């Protein structure tokens, strides 16, 4: 809600964030945006985390300061080979381009987790953002869609248009499931919090794998009604891991400099993106990374498809979301369901503002 006297935004969780921090914030790319393409996220080497004390401290400090500053970092030597990441991208494109539309539509989910638009299943092109041309089509899966111990293997295959895709993405999903707690514990160490204190909130995981497909665009960038593909937003979860894309599009907002930056990712790397859950439990010490996806400037890149594979860890519906112990809480405890619903409501309000004020 807006306090009309102070023009401060009062968050759903009782904290106040001044709108002036986001004076350069826009939902879609605008000619008036301030860009700083000299900024690039810090590169964190995963081998440092398993090295000696000095190397481990270097990793923790680099990742922690990245999450404080903008909420984005590049992860290298993460254990997923470059060829495997390339194969994952190839499978991601095939999910959309080799499956007939009528078959895809059989997987459209009408269910919403947490009462918000978090679909498990196929999300048709433009459905999530009807005002944006040539936006994105997506496919979302959770743990139940993978044949792993403790899950129903036959039911898992029912989520996929072809069982070969389950096998194709399982290794990437499991690798991310292993990496995320390691990164989470490193961030807790950065806050001087017992790194094991949050394990019970993470395990068993409540994660999602989202596969995005941005179809080629044949028109010139200047003739597009909108240069956007995904509106500015913050992820809901703790942290997200995304396979980097050679196609331009990802942009992050830096409130301290009031500038947007185009993020370029080295081949074989993963992008680490902080979410609202991490911001909340850190008592706002960490930022939830504000990011969006725009149409590439290069006509050659607009003419080819862009795919991304994103892994995100969410709180369980019945879990208690609260500030970490030892920190003076700005936020009252809430349930995972209520937390996710409120974050979704806030993002929906932004989308309505775009519709009302083009």
Residues of the chain under the 50 pLDDT cut: 1-20, 114-117, 357-358
Give the tens place of pLDDT for each residue, 237-257.
999 999 989 999 999 999 888
Which two structure tokens, joined as six digits, stand for 187?
């961030």
Give the chain's domain count: 1
* Secondary structure class of 257 (helix, strand, coil): coil
CATH for 211: 2.60.120.330
Q: Is the dihedral of CA 313, 319, 323, 326 positive or negative?
A: negative
Q: What is the pLDDT of residue 313?
A: 94
- Residue 262 has a pLDDT of 96
Are the C-beta atoms of residues 309 and 169 closer than 8 Å to each other?
yes
Dist. CA 204–CA 227, nearest whole Å: 39
Domain span holding position 234: 2-356
Pairing of strands 228-233, 291-294: antiparallel
**Per-residue pLDDT tens for 162-209?**
999 999 999 999 999 999 999 999 999 999 999 999 888 887 789 999
Contacts of 256 (CB under 8 A, 6+ apart): 69
Specify the pLDDT at position 220: 67
Non-local CB neighbours of 77 within 8 Å, separated by 6+ positions: 45, 46, 47
Give pTM, 2 decimals. 0.90
């Amino acid at each position: 809600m807006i306090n009309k006297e102070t023009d401060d935004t009062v968050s759903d969780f009782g904290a106040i964030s001044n709108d002036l921090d986001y004076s350069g914030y826009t939902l879609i790319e605008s000619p008036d945006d301030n860009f700083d393409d000299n900024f690039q996220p810090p590169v964190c080497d995963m081998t440092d985390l398993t090295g000696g004390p000095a190397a481990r401290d270097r990793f923790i400090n680099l990742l922690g300061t990245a999450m404080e500053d903008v909420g984005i970092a590049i992860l290298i030597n993460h254990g997923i080979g470059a060829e495997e990441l390339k194969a994952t991208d190839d499978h991601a494109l095939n999910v959309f381009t080799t499956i007939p539309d009528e078959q895809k539509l059989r997987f459209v989910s009408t269910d919403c987790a947490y009462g918000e638009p978090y679909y498990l299943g196929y999300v048709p092109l433009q459905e999530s953002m009807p005002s944006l041309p040539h936006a994105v089509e997506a496919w979302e899966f959770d743990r139940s869609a993978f044949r792993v111990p403790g899950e129903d293997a036959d039911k898992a295959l029912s989520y996929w248009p072809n069982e070969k895709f389950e096998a194709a993405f399982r290794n990437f999903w499991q690798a991310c499931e292993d990496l995320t707690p390691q990164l989470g514990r490193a961030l807790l160490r950065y806050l001087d919090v017992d790194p094991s204190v949050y394990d019970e909130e993470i395990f068993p995981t409540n994660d999602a794998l989202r596969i995005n497909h941005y179809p080629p665009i044949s028109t010139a960038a200047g003739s597009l009604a909108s240069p956007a593909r995904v509106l500015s937003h913050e992820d809901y979860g703790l942290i997200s891991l995304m396979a980097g894309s050679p196609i331009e599009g990802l942009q992050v907002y830096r409130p301290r400099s009031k500038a947007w930056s185009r993020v370029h990712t080295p081949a074989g790397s993963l992008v680490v993106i902080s979410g609202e859950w991490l911001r909340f439990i850190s008592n706002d010490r960490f930022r939830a990374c504000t990011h969006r996806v725009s149409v590439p400037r290069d006509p050659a890149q607009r003419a080819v498809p862009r795919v991304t594979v994103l892994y995100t860890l969410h709180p369980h519906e019945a879990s208690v979301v609260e500030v970490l112990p030892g920190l003076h809480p700005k936020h009252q405890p809430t349930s995972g369901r209520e937390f996710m619903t409120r974050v979704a409501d806030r993002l929906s309000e932004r989308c309505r503002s775009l519709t009302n004020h083009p």
